[in-house]
Chains A and B, each alone.
Chain A
Amino acid sequence: MLKREGQVRIPSGCAISAVTDTLGKRFSGTDIIDSIALMHDRSNGLGGGFAAYGIYPEFKDLYAFHIFYDDNDARVKTEEFLFKHYDVEYFEQIPTRKISSIGKAPLIWRYFGAVPISKMKKNDYDDDEYTAKCVIRINNEITGSYVFSSGKNMGAFKAVGYPEDVGEYYMLDEYKAHTWTAHGRFPTNTPGWWGGAHPFTLLDWSIVHNGEISSYDANRRFVEQFGYHCNLQTDTEVITYLFDLLVRRQGLKLDMAASVLAAPEWTVIDSMSEKDKELYTALRTVYSSCLINGPFSILVGSKHGLLALNDRLKLRSLITAKKDSKIYFASEESAIRVICPEPEEIKAVEGGVPIFIPFAEVNG
């Protein structure tokens, strides 16, 4: 039986990595696999995953659902739901390679669908809200079914295993994306299972995270008031919902959401101009339950772009580098150098200071 939280304690590790092309040029998953593979020793084989943006240009206006099923029964029930709620244009089993180190896998399917016009007329909310509701419903109500990716022209791929094996398993060398993120997991406190691997996603959001969130329960209680359900037995999930809530639903700019999660300290706010003082005091007051405490470095993918953020006390390493049109992030400098031996600029991401790389229009 899997050990539950509190019964097991494993020292912290984890690795994260990302590459994005600022011109929107697409490239294969080989580089991101090599980068995360270099940090093999930061993971323990209990989870690896990737998010890729710009991978489904042929279906770019459709929601791409990646779903794990425990069994065929879950698949039948979920498909019944999906076909009722979406015009599904194409679906298939996600192709995988046999990899000896990847153990028993769930059934893994993907579906590309649009929200039917008839549905939209009935609802007073938009496609994204409709889809978020559908995803939350499937994950909550259909036993043995877990939607682990639901954005447009993007996809998450994850499993229990080392990340380089997970990348090979999903044949990511055969996909092309303009932005890739990756995670190697070393679970602390909670069990390693397929759904618990990173990235955590909702709509276009994807989060890979190195660290742990001491404020998890405060954050969870807050997002659950807005209809989200945290049921994946891991802390990172809640960060995904915080971004979705703050940016998509409440209309905050992404960098402002970042400064809600890693809020400036009061002493810093004291030294701001009157206008900023008022703004950041208001943000900290209204969103005090969204403050993330504890050590973290995260890479957040979204339709807006790629965001890198470190906790305010800088308790996790995160390096960024630049070369030509590409920008790199990784927990260790060597994980950048393995795919970019001579970067033009290489520096640390500072604590609480977000770095945002907007996505370009996708080319080719």
Chain B
Amino acid sequence: MKITAGKQGFQTLNEQVREKLSHFDEIEIEDVNGQRYIGAAMDKGKTVRVYGTPGNDMGAYLSGGKIEVFGNAQEAVGNTMGGGEIIIHGHTGDTLGYAMRDGEIYVRNRAGSRAGIHMKEFENMHPTVVIGGITGAFLAEYMAGGTLIVLGLGREKGQEIVGAHCATGMHGGKIYIRGEIPQNNLSENINVSELNEAETAELYKCVKKYCELFKEDEEYVLKEKFYKLSPSSSRPYANLYTKN
């Protein structure tokens, strides 16, 4: 089932999308440019394929559905998503996976600043974000849980894999980085360590999926050593204002 977005606003487009999804499990939206909230709160069993550049908050509150973008996405992809899958065959803007609680996001190329800001996990909910390229400043700001993987593929000379203030305020979850981490960009209170067996298994599973999705060479990606970033404390600012 196909819909053409064209120049229509986000309200009429999303009304159409919801109407079609009540009859079909899979739809395609063509000629998308800037319309917000596509696939918001979509349930399990539903798939939307987006051609073009979807607007902000794509897949917000996603609730088990699948969104695949053939193009670039903008800000706040998967904002507060609680499950499902988002695949982006391009790059994304800022605040990717904002406060995401569960589900998976795979981005072929780079992500803007604040990817994984305030991701969180709870009991058996565990969000995962895999970014193929580099990321901007404030990666994983206030991260509270889940797994974030940055591969840094296709980097130009001199480009750093993560921007400044990486993991500022991080107090839970894990980040796996492919290769050396620029120390100056790393926030205080963050430990850099090697991956244990369970973590390596988790990483391999995600890298395998990334390579299948985007036709990358798995062997090449895994040839480089990965490092884990984790918070040294679950309360990094506990003593900022008062000693307690």
Q: Which residues of A contact B (CB under 8 A)?
A: 38-41, 267, 271, 313-314, 317, 319, 332-335, 337-338, 346, 348, 350-351
Which listed residue (B36, B72, B114, B136) contacts A333, Cβ 8 A?
Answer: B72
Q: How many angstroms between the C-alpha atoms of A15 and B113 in the bound complex?
A: 18
Q: How many angstroms between the C-alpha atoms of A267 and B183 in the bound complex?
A: 13
| Complex contacts, A346 vs chain B, CB 8 Å | 72
Q: How many angstroms between the C-alpha atoms of A334 and B57 in the bound complex?
A: 14
Contact A338 B33 (CB under 8 A): yes
Q: How many angstroms between the C-alpha atoms of A346 and B9 in the bound complex?
A: 24
Q: How many angstroms between the C-alpha atoms of A350 and B9 in the bound complex?
A: 29
| Complex contacts, A38 vs chain B, CB 8 Å | 33-34
Contact A348 B113 (CB under 8 A): yes
Contact B93 A317 (CB under 8 A): yes
Contact A332 B94 (CB under 8 A): no
| Complex contacts, B10 vs chain A, CB 8 Å | 41
Contact A334 B55 (CB under 8 A): yes
Contact A334 B74 (CB under 8 A): yes
Q: Which residues of B contact A (CB under 8 A)?
A: 9-10, 33-34, 36, 52-53, 55-56, 72, 74-75, 93-94, 112-114, 136-138, 163-165, 184
Known: A334-B53, A334-B55. A348 touches B93 (CB 8 A): yes
Contact B55 A332 (CB under 8 A): yes
CB-based nearest B residue for A341: B33
Which listed residue (A317, A333, A348, A351) contacts B53, Cβ 8 A?
Answer: A333
Known: A317-B93, A337-B53. A271 touches B34 (CB 8 A): no
Which listed residue (A39, A271, A313, A348) contacts B112, Cβ 8 A?
Answer: A348
Contact B137 A350 (CB under 8 A): yes
Main secondary structure of the interface of A (DSSP, over half): mixed
Q: How many angstroms between the C-alpha atoms of A307 and B74 in the bound complex?
A: 23
Contact B56 A351 (CB under 8 A): no
| Minimum CB–CB distance for A264 against chain B, Å | 11
Contact A332 B113 (CB under 8 A): no
Q: How many A-B residue pairs have CB under 8 A?
A: 59
| Complex contacts, A39 vs chain B, CB 8 Å | 34
| Minimum CB–CB distance for A259 against chain B, Å | 15
Q: How many angstroms between the C-alpha atoms of A335 and B55 in the bound complex?
A: 10
Q: How many angstroms between the C-alpha atoms of A271 and B183 in the bound complex?
A: 12
| Minimum CB–CB distance for B138 against chain A, Å | 7
Contact A332 B137 (CB under 8 A): no
Of the A-B pairs whose beta carbons lie under 8 Å apart in the complex, a sample of 6, sorted by A's number, is A38-B34, A271-B184, A317-B74, A332-B93, A333-B53, A334-B33
| Complex contacts, A267 vs chain B, CB 8 Å | 184
Contact A332 B136 (CB under 8 A): no
Contact B137 A314 (CB under 8 A): yes
Which 10 A-B pairs rank lowest in CB-CB distance, beginning with the nearest?
A: A334-B34, A314-B113, A334-B33, A334-B53, A314-B137, A348-B112, A38-B34, A317-B94, A317-B75, A337-B53
| Complex contacts, B55 vs chain A, CB 8 Å | 332, 334
Contact A314 B138 (CB under 8 A): yes
| Complex contacts, B56 vs chain A, CB 8 Å | 332
Contact A350 B136 (CB under 8 A): yes
Which listed residue (A319, A337, A351) contacts B93, Cβ 8 A?
Answer: A319
| Complex contacts, A335 vs chain B, CB 8 Å | 34
| Minimum CB–CB distance for A350 against chain B, Å | 7
| Complex contacts, B138 vs chain A, CB 8 Å | 313-314
Known: A41-B10, A334-B53. A317 touches B112 (CB 8 A): yes
Q: How many angstroms between the C-alpha atoms of A71 and B10 in the bound complex?
A: 41
Which listed residue (B36, B74, B136) contacts A314, Cβ 8 A?
Answer: B136
Contact A348 B34 (CB under 8 A): no
| Complex contacts, B137 vs chain A, CB 8 Å | 313-314, 350-351
Q: How many angstroms between the C-alpha atoms of A337 and B33 in the bound complex?
A: 8
Further pairs besides A38-B34, A337-B52: 20, Cβ < 8 Å = A38-B33, A41-B10, A267-B184, A313-B137, A313-B165, A317-B112, A332-B55, A332-B56, A333-B53, A333-B72, A333-B74, A334-B33, A334-B53, A334-B55, A348-B94, A348-B112, A348-B113, A348-B136, A351-B113, A351-B137
